[in-house]
Amino acid sequence: MSKNCQCGEDKVCQLDNVIKEHKNIAGALIPVLHEAQKIFGYLPMSVQKQISKGLNISLAEIYGVVTFYSEFSTEPKGEYQINVCLGTACYVKGANDILEQFKKQLKIDVGQTTSDNKFSINACRCVGACGLAPVVTINEEVYGKLVADDVKGILEKYQV
Amino acid sequence: MGKVNITIDGIDMKVPEDYSVLEAAREVGVDIPTLCYLKDINEIGACRMCLVEIKQARGLQASCVYPVSEGLDIITNSESIRKARKATLELILSNHDRSCLTCNRNNSCELQALSDRLNVRELRYEGEKTLYPLDLKSHSIVRDNNKCILCRRCISMCKNIQTVSVIDTTERGFYSNISSPFDLSLNDVPCISCGQCINVCPVNALREKDDTELVWDAINDKSKHVVVQTAPATRVAIGEEFGLPIGTRCTKNMVGALRRIGFDKVFDTDTGADLTIMEEGTELLHRLNNGGKLPMITSCSPGWVTFCEYNFPEFLDNLSTCKSPMQMFGAVLKTYYAKKTNINPADIIVVAVMPCIAKKAESKRPEMSVNGLADVDHVITTRELAKMIKEAGIDFHTISSDHYDDPMGDASGAGVIFGATGGVMEAAIRTVYEIVTKKPLDNLDIISVRGIKGIKEANVQIGDFTLKAAVASGTGNARKLLEMVKSGEKDYHFIEIMACPGGCVNGGGQPIQSSAVRSKYDLREERAKAIYAEDVKLSVRKSHENKLVQKLYKEFLGEPGGHKSHELLHTHYIDREKYPISQ
Ligand code: SF4
Ligand code: SF4
Ligand code: SF4
Ligand code: FES
């Protein structure tokens, strides 16, 4: 997140406009959630409350939708999304050790984001690259046949 | 209504065209098993327990959501149906905390009954189990997702009927579960504790917070004087817990059982209701005569009060400032009664038996106390009382007692009808009419406000004044009514609102009946009939003619709406924000 985006008010206004545009359209919730996620980077309670009020949909229903789709997140998302595949093939080849190593290096848990908003760790289902197991993707980049000792070096590439 | 010809298991029949296959089958005595289905409330075809074969369709179909049509040919019992139903059930059971022996719903559980009925004797799959923490934070309600079978009846109730909407399905697949936003406790969301979700839950995933041990402890504490008060609706429902038909009046058995359990005195909340009528009637007249805020809205139903605080703060000044009958009566017990009997109020424990779980939360509101003593110490539901009676080994069918204890003794029929929707309105009219016109009311039965319709209206002639009244039960109906008042479409002087559909007879603490029973009987109607039968039987049917109430004003309270009343019997409300971010 860049510095000039820190103004909460601005984002609230932006979201308000999105809500207004969608207000009387059937099935508005999902597109509005997508826009909101773009604006805020994630969907905390305050954002979901604003949507709840604006679209007159209960917070319970909105939260249900947000947790149903994996593209929505209630936690802030880091600039770099680390996805550790925990599909069967990767798991058998030690993906869990890789995951543990990422957690140790970044001092966060799965689903969390580092305090500088740089990295998030996610555990994901099979990404279809079983030949490369164990596999980790960071944004668009794919890393295969990893061992735990590779993790430190990979992270250093992003820390500049 | 047009009819269509169908065939069920080779039997030809004619059924109304708006029937589902399930309803049609029940008419010819075929009891198709169901789990998620709840008539008029949850007809979503989620559990696939009610599968049948339909010649005109491929594969097995969920009969609860399959509409009949001309010529439909249905098979309800075949090898593949039997196997499919059993497999579905086994799958549910494989991820269920099957602790039936110690379960609150042991013997009243639809899942348990179904397992027996489908002859499930072993589980072929012992799957991975999801483990959820219990939600124990609320004063009224406990949620145990380890027992939840995801039928969604609670959601339909909370969202569509009550329009409170604090629960929904979250996550998906194996992790799918019912929860509140951000997995907050029901205590920290705008849940109104109406308990309607408990009454529709087929299993023990939702239940009231059990306070029976606290009551036993109080009874066993010899230094305490423990009195109990019973709400009007409890007496017409508790029999169901002992196998009696719905709508059986059990006042005598209940009073007898309470005495045997060991309460020092057994009193009737109806007396509190009579007191409420005196205060509320006076308040209404005061508002009418002095340009006060109208319409005045009743405040006896704590579920409704909480709903108003969260959803309609603009109507808080319309709420009557009267405490509910339970709280009024508690306050009188700890002051007037304490003085009369020369017992230190701190040594009096007031227990209330209520058809309601919101009463548990109400009794814990800090405003509901006098001189630092809570008006009411413990609230138990009709269901909890039944458990205590069973635990004590009392034969409910033979025990009997003729009357409530002196000096707080017998109440009026007006107090009794508080238990059904429209009852408070009817009771208020009986009294206000006579105060204003100084003439006896000819016909005490004000039929226009009776019945289970969600919203009722009545114009009542009081001398030369026409009182415009409305009655709503169920918070969904309350919302509808208030929106109409807000928009100016409707205009009333006096509104009665009860949080539970049908009023207290159908409260969230009342005996739970299965989906099958609820398809056959309207609980609200059957229990309300018993309430009105109780009223007619009483010699005093107007609150202002209740001897004790008259004495109470003379000896202690002074005037209705007077200084002492305001101190003991009235309260205030709070504008509550939903989901405050500081959480
Ligand atoms: S909810 Fe029903 S099936 Fe489950 S443990 Fe309780 S009684 Fe048994
Ligand atoms: S108690 Fe009432 S408001 Fe609360 S979750 Fe249940 S149905 Fe909804
Ligand atoms: S809590 Fe009860 S009513 Fe709600 S989905 Fe679970 S089993 Fe069904
Ligand atoms: S699908 Fe018919 S009862 Fe659940």
Active-site option among B504, B515, B534, B565? B504
pLDDT band of residue A79 (cuts 50, 70, 90) is: confident
A86 and A137 housed in the same domain = yes
Mean pLDDT of A12-23: 94
H helices present in B374-522, as ranges? 382-391, 413-416, 423-437, 475-486, 515-520
Is residue A62 a part of any domain in this protein?
yes
Pair type for strands B51-54 and B73-75: antiparallel
CA geometry: angle B169, B170, B176, nearest 5 deg: 85
Count of alpha carbons within 13 Å of B502, Cβ hemisphere only?
18
Kindly state the greatest CA–CA separation across chain A.
54
Pair type for strands B73-75 and B60-62: unpaired
- Answer yes or no: do B168 and A49 touch at CB < 8 A: no
Q: Residue A145's pLDDT is what?
A: 94
Contact predicate B45/B64, CB 8 Å: yes
Is residue A33 a part of any domain in this protein?
yes
A58 and A106 housed in the same domain = no
Atom 6 of ligand 2, residue of closest alpha carbon: B197
Residues with Cβ < 8 Å from B12, sequence gap 6 or more? B5, B6
Q: Domain boundary at A24, A44, A68, which?
A: A68
CA B89 to CA B382: how far, in whole Å?
A: 31
Judged by its nearest atom, the ligand closest to the C-alpha of residue B162 is 2
A38 and A106 housed in the same domain = no
Mean pLDDT over each residue of chain A, to the nearest integer: 89
A84 and A153 housed in the same domain = yes
From first to last of the 583 residues of chain B, give the pLDDT tens digit: 899 999 999 999 999 999 999 999 999 999 999 999 999 999 999 999 999 999 999 999 999 999 999 999 999 999 999 999 999 999 999 999 999 999 999 999 999 999 999 999 988 877 778 889 999 999 999 999 999 999 999 999 999 999 999 999 999 888 899 999 999 999 999 999 999 999 999 999 999 999 999 999 999 999 999 999 999 999 999 999 999 999 999 999 999 999 999 999 999 999 999 999 999 999 999 999 999 999 999 999 999 999 999 999 999 999 999 999 999 999 999 999 999 999 999 999 999 999 999 999 999 999 999 989 999 999 999 999 999 999 999 999 999 998 899 878 778 899 999 999 999 999 999 999 999 999 999 888 888 999 999 999 999 999 899 999 999 999 999 999 999 999 999 999 999 999 999 999 999 999 999 999 999 999 999 999 999 999 999 989 999 999 999 999 999 999 999 999 999 999 999 999 999 986 4
Pocket test residue of B150, B203, B206 for ligand 1, highest count of atoms within 8 A of CB: B203
Residues with Cβ < 8 Å from A64, sequence gap 6 or more? B168, B169, B170
Residues 74-103 of A with CB under 8 A from B: 74
Q: Which tokens sit at B495?
A: 């509104």
CA B277 to CA B322: how far, in whole Å?
A: 9
Q: Is B359 helix (H, G, I), strand (E, B) or coil?
A: helix
Pair type for strands B225-230 and B348-354: parallel
Strand order in the sheet with B378-381: B265-268, B225-230, B348-354, B378-381
Closest ligand 1 atom to Cα of B112: 3
Closest CA to B205 of B438, B454, B512, B499: B512
Closest CA to B413 of B421, B405, B423: B423
Q: Residue B110's pLDDT is what?
A: 98
Closest CA to B304 of B472, B417, B457, B451: B472
ipTM computed for the complex: 0.89
Q: What is the dihedral of CA B26, B31, B37, B40, to 10 degrees?
A: 20
B-chain CB neighbours of A33 within 8 Å are none
* CA distances to A74, A115, A117 from A77, in Å: 9, 11, 7
Atom 3 of ligand 2, residue of closest alpha carbon: B191
A63 and A102 housed in the same domain = no
DSSP code at position B422? T
Count of alpha carbons within 13 Å of B230, Cβ hemisphere only?
35
B-chain CB neighbours of A48 within 8 Å are 181
Q: What is the dihedral of CA B519, B522, B524, B529, to 10 degrees?
A: -150
A98 and A141 housed in the same domain = yes
CA geometry: angle B304, B308, B309, nearest 5 deg: 120
A98 and A151 housed in the same domain = yes
The conformational region for residue A123 under phi > 0 = left, psi -120 to 50 = alpha, else beta, is beta
Is residue A5 a part of any domain in this protein?
no
- For residue A8, pLDDT beyond 60: no
| Range with lowest mean pLDDT among A26-30, A123-127, B62-66, B422-426 | A123-127
Beta-bridge partner residues of B73: B7
Q: Which residues line ligand 2 (CB under 6 A)?
A: B 141, 157-158, 162, 164, 166-167, 186, 191-197
Question: What is the CB neighbour count within 10 angstroms for residue B489?
Answer: 8
Residue whose structure tokens are 């008042």: B485
A152 and A86 housed in the same domain = yes
| Domain range enclosing A151 | 80-159
Q: Residue B582's pLDDT is what?
A: 65
Is residue A135 a part of any domain in this protein?
yes
Is residue A3 a part of any domain in this protein?
no
Pair type for strands B3-8 and B73-75: parallel
A102 and A142 housed in the same domain = yes
Q: Which tokens sit at B492?
A: 């009333």
Closest CA to A129 of A160, A77, A63, A85: A85
Q: Residue A71's pLDDT is what?
A: 85
Closest CA to B60 of B44, B43, B77: B77
A73 touches chain B (CB under 8 A): no
Contact predicate B419/B232, CB 8 Å: yes
CA B53 to CA B58: how far, in whole Å?
A: 8
Indicate the pTM of the whole model.
0.90
Closest ligand 1 atom to Cα of B105: 7
Q: Which residue has the higher pLDDT, A75 or B183?
A: B183
Q: Residue B129's pLDDT is what?
A: 80
Contact predicate B570/B323, CB 8 Å: yes
Closest CB to B170 among A45, A48, A67:
A67
A148 and A91 housed in the same domain = yes
Q: Residue B391's pLDDT is what?
A: 97
Residue whose structure tokens are 């296959």: B21
A153 and A95 housed in the same domain = yes
Residue whose structure tokens are 């980077």: A41
CA A129 to CA B160: how far, in whole Å?
A: 45
Is residue A59 a part of any domain in this protein?
yes
CA B84 to chain centre: 36
Q: Which tokens sit at B234?
A: 């409890």
- Long-range contacts, A7-15 (Cβ 8 Å, 24+): A11/A39, A11/A40, A12/A50, A14/A39, A15/A39, A15/A40, A15/A47, A15/A50, A15/A51
Query: Residue A94 belongs to a domain with what CATH number?
Result: 3.40.30.10
Is residue A1 a part of any domain in this protein?
no
CA B302 to CA B31: how far, in whole Å?
A: 39
Is the Cα torsion angle B405, B411, B416, B422 positive or negative in sign? negative
Closest CA to B282 of B32, B549, B2: B549
Q: Domain boundary at A46, A68, A90, which?
A: A68
Is residue A63 a part of any domain in this protein?
yes
List domains and CATH numbers for chain B.
Answer: 3-77 (3.10.20.740), 105-208 (3.30.70.20), 224-569 (3.40.950.10)
A101 and A151 housed in the same domain = yes
H helices present in B488-546, as ranges? 515-520, 523-537
- Answer yes or no: do B159 and A60 touch at CB < 8 A: yes
Question: What is the CB neighbour count within 10 angstroms for residue B408?
Answer: 23
Whether B90 sits among the annotated catalytic residues: the reply is no
Q: Find the length of chain B.
A: 583
SS3 of B208-253:
ECCCHHHHHHHHHCCCCEEEEEECHHHHHCHHHHHCCCCCCCCHHH
Q: How many domains does chain A have?
A: 2
A-chain CB neighbours of B167 within 8 Å are 60
